[in-house]
Amino acid sequence: MDHFQYQNRQLYCEDTPVAELAAQYGTPLYIYSQAALLEKLREIQAAFAAAEPIICYSVKANGNLSICRLMAQHGAGFDVTSKGEFQRALRAGGRTSPIVFAGVGKTDDEIEFALTNNVFLFDVESEQELHAIGAVAQRLGVKAPVALRVNPDLPPKTHVKTDTSVKGVKFGLDIETIVDVAQSVVGHPGIALVGLHMHLGSPILKVEPYRLGAEKGVTLIRQFRAQGHDIRYLNMGGGFGINYRNDEAPPARAFAEVILPAVRETGCQLILEPGRFIVGNAAILLTRVLYTKSTGGKHYIIQDGAMNDLIRPTLYGSFHRVWPVQPPENVPVEPDVNGDPDDPQPFRDMPHCFKQDVVGPVCESGDFLAKDRPLPAMKRGDLLAVFSAGAYGMAMASNYNSRLRAAEVLVTGRTHRLIRRRETFADLVACEDDCLN
């Protein structure tokens, strides 16, 4: 979050006052710091450097073409989960960036598209999918490069909606039967089983699950090799947590410490699929206050960002810091470092601050960005910054209530450029207009 700082009581992204961007592009507005994006990519590249990993940026976290291109330009490949994401990766990185393709429901069309567009690896999630891939590959006269995704059956480690390695979730192959599945494709003419994949969940704030997962991975790779498979890749997925509140997330090197031993032991090429780690704290969602009101003993800030722009608080109850862009003179802007570490709102227990809910215009009580946050009194027209909005923010945005999706801007120092224009009414009805009789 270092690239979003106050200077003279004004919030800046790098060297650019964010209020200036609001004036130029309107709100709600996603603002990305290029320095932040590259810093986190480099952090993960450096932490795992000993293994010379293939870093496949996870497009689902944020598929903006300019962000994906930036990733490709700085040495990343892509992790995709649909044909649409595959096409984004191709558009951003050309055919030179490695693309790994995960997901439980790949269609034949998607499989064929991937095979004819140089897919680096399929992460396979069921026995039927494995044989479907084999069949399409045989029809095309090629061999599909495949990693089996294991569900390593670890204890719960994150939000129930995003924990992908506990027993009974839809992801991956059961650890008890995956070796039999591997056996079923020994010598298969359409399948080259060359890797093992796992993605444990997201976000994960502890390194222990990776240690346990990697250890189980070593055993499986040994078993696959004993069957005759030439296993060359260990794909440990993404999921590395970030600081939404304070300093709750381990640095990349802590994850590396528990993953690298498995890489050394197997001699495999390491693949990683980080999304949130790179883009999560590289953006704010900038919104403008429409009204304030108090009712039923509660105080509301109604602003123009809503659950359709950033659904994480509504969907997961997740915490995003919300700060005024220009705090009033009587409110200090320094974070309250002595405050509650679980609620490090900088304006907590500050003079002239009181608990308020930050809500949007969408017609649902679940439409909120923050609850009970100590904030100063806000006026119509004031700007708010919602932090840590880079991952699964714009990527999960919708047109609910026929709201137009936000614009996105990429800042570098004192310069910036629009990387997605604000939608128009014509965009909104484009797929319906021609069908109107």
Q: Which of 237, 324, 327, 344 binds ligand LLP (CB under 6 A)?
A: 237
Sites for ligand LLP among residues 143-172 (CB under 6 A): 162
- Tell me: does residue 276 bind ligand LLP (CB under 6 A): yes
- Tell me: does residue 385 bind ligand LLP (CB under 6 A): no
Q: Which of 33, 58, 151, 356 binds ligand LLP (CB under 6 A)?
A: 58
| 432 burial via Cβ count (<10 Å: 0-12, 13-18, 19+) | exposed
d(CA 6, CA 35): 17
The residue type of 365 is: S
Q: Which of 239, 324, 327, 360 binds ligand LLP (CB under 6 A)?
A: 239
Q: Nearer to ligand LLP by C-beta: 233 or 347?
A: 233
**Please, what is the minimum distance in Å from the beta carbon of residue 306 to ligand LLP?**
16
Sites for ligand LLP among residues 98-127 (CB under 6 A): 102
- Tell me: does residue 255 bind ligand LLP (CB under 6 A): no
- Sheet with 10-13: strands ordered across: 4-7, 10-13, 16-17
Yes or no: say if 319 and 39 are a contact pair by the CB < 8 Å rule.
Answer: no
Catalytic residue among 56, 268, 363, 435: 363
**Please, what is the minimum distance in Å from the beta carbon of residue 104 to ligand LLP?**
10
Q: Indicate if 363 belongs to the active site.
A: yes
Q: Which of 88, 312, 373, 405 binds ligand LLP (CB under 6 A)?
A: 312
Q: Nearer to ligand LLP by C-beta: 85 or 304?
A: 85
**Structure tokens that stand for 220 in this block:** 């499986």
- Tell me: does residue 61 bind ligand LLP (CB under 6 A): yes
Determine the 3-state secondary structure of 163 from DSSP.
strand
Q: Look up residue 400 and give its DSSP letter.
A: G
Yes or no: say if 138 and 189 are a contact pair by the CB < 8 Å rule.
Answer: yes
Q: Nearer to ligand LLP by C-beta: 29 or 100?
A: 100
Helical axes 83-93 vs 108-116, angle rounded to 10°: 20
Q: Nearer to ligand LLP by C-beta: 21 or 100?
A: 100
Q: Nearer to ligand LLP by C-beta: 273 or 382?
A: 273
Q: Nearer to ligand LLP by C-beta: 200 or 350?
A: 200
Q: How many residues would you count in the chain? A: 437
- Tell me: does residue 275 bind ligand LLP (CB under 6 A): yes
Yes or no: say if 149 and 199 are a contact pair by the CB < 8 Å rule.
Answer: yes
- Tell me: does residue 391 bind ligand LLP (CB under 6 A): yes
Residue 125, CA atoms < 13 Å, CB-side half-sphere: 15
Cα dist. 259→41, 264, 268 in Å? 17, 9, 12
**Please, what is the minimum distance in Å from the beta carbon of residue 208 to ligand LLP?**
17
Yes or no: say if 291 and 380 are a contact pair by the CB < 8 Å rule.
Answer: yes
- Tell me: does residue 277 bind ligand LLP (CB under 6 A): yes
Sites for ligand LLP among residues 192-211 (CB under 6 A): 199, 202-203
Residues ≥6 apart with Cβ < 8 Å to 422: 25, 26, 404, 405, 406, 407
Q: Which stretch binds ligand LLP (CB under 6 A): 217-225, 257-265, 274-282, 423-431?
A: 274-282
Yes or no: say if 125 and 172 are a contact pair by the CB < 8 Å rule.
Answer: yes
Q: Nearer to ligand LLP by C-beta: 88 or 188?
A: 88
Phi/psi at 403 (5° precision):
-85, 140
- Tell me: does residue 273 bind ligand LLP (CB under 6 A): yes
- Tell me: does residue 238 bind ligand LLP (CB under 6 A): yes
Q: Which stretch binds ligand LLP (CB under 6 A): 8-16, 44-52, 53-61, 429-437?
A: 53-61
Q: Which of 287, 392, 403, 410 binds ligand LLP (CB under 6 A)?
A: 392
Phi/psi at 302 (5° precision):
-100, 115
Yes or no: say if 370 and 357 are a contact pair by the CB < 8 Å rule.
Answer: yes
What are the start-end ranges of the H helices in 117-207? 127-140, 178-183
Q: Nearer to ligand LLP by C-beta: 240 or 323?
A: 240
d(CA 150, CA 251): 25
Active centre residues (catalytic): 363
Q: Which residues bind ligand LLP (CB under 6 A)?
A: 58, 60-61, 79, 102, 162, 199, 202-203, 237-240, 273-277, 312, 316, 391-392
